[in-house]
Structure 1
Amino acid sequence: MEVTLLNHTPLWVCSNAIRTCWQSFDKGDNGGEIDLALIDRVGNQLKHASTLEHLFYNFYIKGISRACLQELARHRIASLSVKSTRYTLKELKNESEFKPNDFENASRYIVLTSNEFVDNASINALDNLRQILNQNTSLDIAKYCLPESYKTELSWSINARSLQNFLSLRSSKSALWEIRNLANLIYQNLPQEHKFIYENCLTKPK
């Protein structure tokens, strides 16, 4: 999978929101160390996390499965624009047969789990879909036999408060392995100067 950070809100917008509450603009340092400490104290330590909602991040996520997409969609305070199967399934139509154990070829379209039985079942489903498309079945109907492992991509936008929640839940070892990998990639792609907001949210590997 690939994660690209497209855009983000500068930190001074958050510190400005906090200082709006107290009208303490004269104590700020234009997004410097004093303002960063303020964000950490108010947003993280004192848990006035509503102030973090002024920070937004826009990501482009590529190569996750539809199963992972369903998990991602459970995070309500986020916006998703997803690659449409209705318009893009035809990319599969002119492919040659997908054969069992040809994981390298199939991985262009499906996310592999490293479980040979599961991955071969996904390859079979992928080839069934290819055959159905070649019967000139409408894409609206054909998409009903998409395997959950079928790859997709999306634009994903989220505010900092919701991102804290996402990282806390999805970096956990109890989370689906694929979305756990996604959570770690999202954290890695955050601007370095923003990471202090999320350090305590991430489950560190033992």
Structure 2
Amino acid sequence: MKIKCAKFNAAVMSRPSFDDKALINFLQNHGLCWVRTGGTPAEEIVEVSGRMCYLSFGKNRQSPRDNSAYIANLISQGHESVLEHVNWTILLSGVSRGFTHQLVRHRVGFAYSQLSQQYHDESEALFVVPPSIEKDRELFIQWADDIYKSLTTYRKIIKTIKNNKLSDKESLRELRTAARSTLPNATESKIVITVNARALRHFFDVRGCIEGDWEMRKVACAIFDLVYCDAPSLFYDFQKIEMSDGSFKLEKK
């Protein structure tokens, strides 16, 4: 009995960038200037977007708040629509199909591109083992045996079913659709997500703190680590808390 367990990874493929030339040209044409007070590209995009609503640029128009204080005020007032202007594209691998079924329920502010089991041969699939099962040797052996049986059935289906009435492309689709019905939620998947800062804040708030969902917490914390580096002011009111089992969850401060 041999199965391969997946290793989790989260990586940023694109992040917010700010080319200020267009803004500066616009401000000059309107007799305005922007007093910059620091901030990352993501944070400056949010500030500029907020200021554009009132054209609050320049010494006589800007509040005394610096970039981070300005953003904190927006968030505290519930004016988070300007956070939708900054996006990240993140590649997740080593996650389970069970996890992605939960993740894609988040629709507003998210876009997804996931590995297709209809077009990708899963004969050498990896699997994601829950920590509670991994810690129990007897339970893990039983779990791994069941996983192996499902993978064996998958491989058998792939080798046996033929439908000469369909084109090669559609016959292969039908074959893999039939075969994937045997695969468990623990089957490893890969997914690309693009998400804006406002949607991420909601995701962290409702998903990062669910103690009974280890994988959702793990992914939420990993994404938090990635985006916090780019825009700490946008997520300043979240923190990672270590749990009794050594894993982490996200909480509002």
TM-score by length of 1: 0.81
Q: Which residue of 1 aligns with 2:146?
A: 121
Identity percentage over the alignment? 23
**Structure 1 stretches (4+) deviating beyond 6 angstroms?**
none
Deviates most, 79-88 or 18-27? 18-27
Instruction: Output the CA distance in 2 between the equivalents of 1:179 and 1:161.
Output: 18
Deviation at 1:154, TM superposition (A): 1.1
Instruction: Output the CA distance in 1 between the equivalents of 2:49 and 2:212.
Output: 33
Instruction: Output the CA distance in 2 between the equivalents of 1:142 and 1:186.
Output: 32
- In the superposition, relative to structure 1, how do residues 161 and 175 fare at CA in structure 2: closer, same or farther (>3 Å)? farther
Instruction: Output the CA distance in 1 between the equivalents of 2:115 and 2:221.
Output: 22
CA RMSD of superposed structures (Å):
2.2
- SS at the partner of 1:22? coil
Letter in 2 for 1:68: F
**Are 1:133 and 2:140 matched, yes or no?**
no
Q: Which residue of 2 aligns with 1:34?
A: 66
- SS at the partner of 1:4? strand
- SS at the partner of 2:223? helix
Asked if 1 retains the 8 angstrom alpha-carbon contact of 2:157 and 2:178, the reply is no
Residue correspondence of structure 1 range 105-184 to structure 2 within 5 A: 109-114=126-131, 115=133, 116=140, 117-136=142-161, 138-184=175-221
Asked if 2 retains the 8 angstrom alpha-carbon contact of 1:172 and 1:180, the reply is yes
Q: Which residue of 2 aligns with 1:101?
A: none
Unaligned runs of 5+ in 1: 96-107
Asked if 1 retains the 8 angstrom alpha-carbon contact of 2:11 and 2:91, the reply is yes
Higher helix proportion (structure 1 or 2) = 1
Find the partner of 1:2 among 6, 9, 25.
Answer: 9
Deviation at 1:191, TM superposition (A): 5.1
Residue correspondence of structure 1 range 69-84 to structure 2 within 5 A: 69-77=100-108, 78-84=110-116
- In the superposition, relative to structure 1, how do residues 175 and 156 fare at CA in structure 2: closer, same or farther (>3 Å)? farther
Instruction: Output the CA distance in 1 between the equivalents of 2:228 and 2:206.
Output: 21
Q: Per-residue CA shift, 1:63-91, capped at 9, x if unaligned?
A: 111000011011112000001111112x5
- In the superposition, relative to structure 1, how do residues 27 and 203 fare at CA in structure 2: closer, same or farther (>3 Å)? farther
How many residue pairs align between the two structures? 186
When Rg is computed on C-alpha atoms for both structures, the one with the higher figure is 2
Deviation at 1:38, TM superposition (A): 1.2
- In the superposition, relative to structure 1, how do residues 40 and 27 fare at CA in structure 2: closer, same or farther (>3 Å)? farther
TM-score by length of 2: 0.67
Q: Which residue of 1 aligns with 2:89?
A: 58
**Are 1:186 and 2:218 matched, yes or no?**
no
